[in-house]
């Protein structure tokens, strides 16, 4: 019989990273909270994960004080030092001023005002899918809509965004785990280049422009804290691209498997919103979030010692049959039919640490898939899709598709 420990080990193999969902199902049945040694635990259950995410006093993000205790050399790594200065690793009350500043720019009202701009970028990135009668790799076109959207919000020219996106992808990939990847030096090498670009090309040009995200933050930031400002801009750039890029890739894969659904999205905006939520539930862009127990406690009947690092598994909690009916099935109208409540989708987090860019990601997804459905009649896979060999981010390295353009009639 396979033990929870065997299943945990399988998760971090190439096969487990490529398709972790059968393993998640096994863990949900065997151990919704599974201890990994004496100082780590994996949380897969929906209720148990919610209990962790909503209790920011008891379960805190691994901040600089945690890093000092468990990874004494982190300050010697430029990339890690930058991330630990960002909102990603700040706890209340320190995180609240930064969070309020960032949220001002990504509030539902502001995102609603971005729709026309997002639509322009969506149209430009769908065009290559229908311009070529052969196959096209969607990782080089459609899924990159978020890169140019966030680029415009920060004032980054399109010609610069490709290189920045490559740097940021490496920066984040090497820093996904705690402690990070042993290949951290490559992320450290590009960090000064990212800092220089933001300082010289963005801060100098947009510091006084409140319509630009850089200026919006810079005008409320103390000059002495420039390093923190740049670190947060790096985080916003990275998180704002990689999350939605992954969402678009997973959604495109679903539509390539089900052209009847593509036709339904062509005429049904209500279904479109439910479809995007179902993509986020069924195959979340980010699979894990880290929390640290501030004191000895119990979770799901499992003893959790102080300083235990918990991996909250967003990929698994959306598959919990205690919360979602037929959780392993992709049901595009799940949130239209009343089968599930859209508020139960917590793949972007809960409470004080919920992703501040969640509304932008969901809106970008809706606009991108609407544009796709309006312009494409048929969509098919040309070859097996390839995911990056990563545990946290569900990103494709290759996603080759072939399309048939929708007639103008």
Residue-wise DSSP of 177-238: SSS--TTHHHHHHHHHHHHHHIIIIIIHHHTT-TTSHHHHHHTTS-GGGHHHHHHHHHHHHH
Sign of the alpha-carbon dihedral angle for 261, 263, 264, 265: positive
Judged against a pLDDT cut of 90, whether residue 409 lies above it is answered with no
Report the C-alpha gap between 177 and 80 in whole angstroms.
11
What confidence tens digit (pLDDT) does each residue in 195-243 have? 999 999 999 888 888 888 899 898 888 765 889 999 999 999 998 889 9
Q: Quote the pLDDT of residue 211.
A: 84
Instruction: Write out the H or E segment, with its range, that includes residue 292.
Output: strand 288-293
Residue 48 has what pLDDT? 98
The torsion angles phi and psi of 402, rounded to 5 degrees, stand at -130, 140
Note the pLDDT tens digit of each residue in 353-366.
Answer: 999 999 999 999 99
- How far is residue 115's CA from residue 112's CA, in Å, rounded to a whole number? 6
CA distances from 214 to 33, 217, 232, 239 (A): 40, 5, 10, 15
8-state DSSP, 331? -
The CA–CA distances, whole Å, from 211 to 30, 154, 161, 302 equal 51, 10, 20, 49
Distance of alpha carbon 277 from alpha carbon 333, whole angstroms? 10
The predicted pLDDT at position 183 comes to: 82
pLDDT over 70 percentage in the chain: 99
Residue 101 scores a pLDDT above 70: yes
Rounded CA separation 230/171 (Å): 14
pLDDT at 327 over 90: yes
Q: Tell me: pLDDT of 295 over 60.
A: yes
d(CA 290, CA 303): 18
Predicted pLDDT of residue 223: 61
Give the model's confidence band at 171: pLDDT under 50 very low, under 70 low, under 90 confident, else very high.
very high
Helical pair 358-375 and 145-154, crossing angle rounded to 10 deg: 130
Q: Which two tokens stand for residue 123?
A: 């149209």
Structure tokens at 132: 């070529």
| Peptide bond just before 93 cis, omega within 30 deg | yes
* The pLDDT of residue 24: 97
CA distance linking residue 275 with residue 407, whole number of Å: 24
Is the pLDDT assigned to residue 378 strictly greater than 60? yes
Helix/strand/coil percent split, the chain, to 5: 55, 10, 30
The CATH H-level (homologous superfamily) assignment of domain 4-405 is: Cytochrome P450 (1.10.630.10)
Q: Can you give the pLDDT at residue 332?
A: 97
pLDDT over threshold 80, residue 173: yes
Counting Cβ atoms within 10 Å, is residue 360 exposed (0-12), middle (13-18) or buried (19+)?
A: buried
Please name every residue paired with 404 in a beta bridge, in sequence order, or none if there are none.
378
Mean pLDDT (whole number) for 264-287: 96
Q: What is the pLDDT of residue 302?
A: 96
Contact between 331 and 303 under an 8 Å Cβ cutoff? The reply is no
Q: 354: which residues sit within 8 A by CB, 6+ positions away? A: 348
Region 339-362: mean pLDDT is 94
Query: In the numeric block, which tokens belong to residue 272?
Result: 């479109």
Q: At what angle do helices 4-11 and 21-30 cross, to 10 degrees?
A: 160
What is the C-alpha separation between 65 and 85, in angstroms, rounded? 12
Predicted pLDDT of residue 291: 98
Give the pLDDT band of residue 344 (cuts 50, 70, 90). very high
Average pLDDT value for residue range 260-288: 96
* Higher pLDDT pick, 209 / 44: 44
Closest to 395 measured CA to CA, from 16, 7, 5, 17: 17
How far is residue 141's CA from residue 386's CA, in Å, rounded to a whole number? 16
Give the residue among 73, 99, 83 at the shortest CA–CA distance from 290.
Answer: 83
- Minimum mean pLDDT range among 180-194, 212-226, 253-267, 314-328: 212-226
Q: How high does pLDDT run on average in the chain?
A: 93
Tell whether the model's pLDDT for residue 284 goes beyond 70. Answer: yes
- Predicted confidence at residue 5, as pLDDT, reads 85
Q: What dihedral do alpha carbons 85, 91, 96, 101 form, nearest 10°? A: 30
Residue among 92, 99, 76, 95 at smallest CA distance from 179:
76
Q: Which two tokens stand for residue 327?
A: 């959780």
Q: What is the pLDDT of residue 221?
A: 81
Interior angle at CA 274, CA 272 and CA 277, nearest 5:
110
């Amino acid at each position: 019989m396979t033990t929870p420990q065997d299943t945990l080990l399988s998760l971090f193999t190439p096969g487990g990273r490529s398709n972790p969902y059968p393993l998640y199902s096994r863990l949900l049945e065997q151990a919704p909270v599974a201890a990994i040694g004496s100082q780590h635990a994996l949380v897969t259950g929906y209720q148990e994960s919610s209990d962790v995410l909503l209790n920011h006093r008891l379960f805190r993000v691994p901040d600089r004080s945690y890093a000092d205790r468990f990874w004494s050399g982190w300050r010697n790594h430029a990339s890690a030092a930058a991330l630990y200065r960002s909102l990603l690793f700040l706890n209340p009350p320190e995180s609240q001023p930064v969070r309020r500043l960032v949220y001002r720019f990504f509030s539902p009202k502001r995102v609603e005002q971005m729709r026309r701009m997002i639509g322009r970028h969506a149209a430009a990135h769908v065009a290559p899918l229908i311009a070529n009668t052969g196959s096209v790799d969607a990782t080089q076109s459609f899924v990159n809509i978020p890169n140019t959207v966030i680029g415009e919000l920060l004032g980054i020219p399109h010609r610069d965004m490709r290189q920045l996106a490559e740097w940021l992808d490496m920066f984040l990939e090497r820093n996904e785990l705690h402690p990070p990847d042993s290949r951290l030096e490559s992320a450290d090498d590009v960090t000064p280049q990212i800092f220089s670009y933001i300082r010289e090309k963005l801060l100098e040009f947009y510091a006084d422009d409140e319509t630009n995200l850089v200026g919006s933050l810079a005008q409320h930031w103390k000059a002495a804290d420039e390093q923190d400002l740049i670190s947060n801009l790096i985080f916003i750039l990275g998180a704002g691209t990689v999350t939605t890029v992954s969402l678009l890739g997973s959604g495109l894969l679903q539509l390539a498997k089900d052209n009847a659904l593509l036709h339904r999205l062509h005429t049904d905006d209500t279904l479109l919103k439910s479809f995007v939520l179902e993509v986020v539930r069924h195959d979340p862009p980010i699979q894990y979030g880290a929390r640290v127990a501030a004191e000895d406690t119990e979770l799901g009947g499992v003893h959790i010692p102080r300083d235990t690092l918990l991996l909250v598994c967003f990929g698994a909690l959306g598959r919990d049959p205690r919360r979602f009916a037929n959780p392993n099935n992709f049901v595009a109208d799940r949130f239209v039919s009343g089968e599930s409540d859209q508020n139960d989708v917590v793949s972007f987090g809960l409470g004080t640490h919920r992703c501040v860019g969640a509304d932008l990601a969901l809106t970008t997804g809706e606009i991108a898939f609407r544009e796709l459905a309006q312009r494409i009649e048929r969509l098919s896979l040309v070859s097996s899709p390839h995911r990056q060999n990563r545990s946290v981010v569900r990103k494709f390295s290759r996603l080759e598709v072939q399309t048939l353009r929708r007639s103008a009639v």
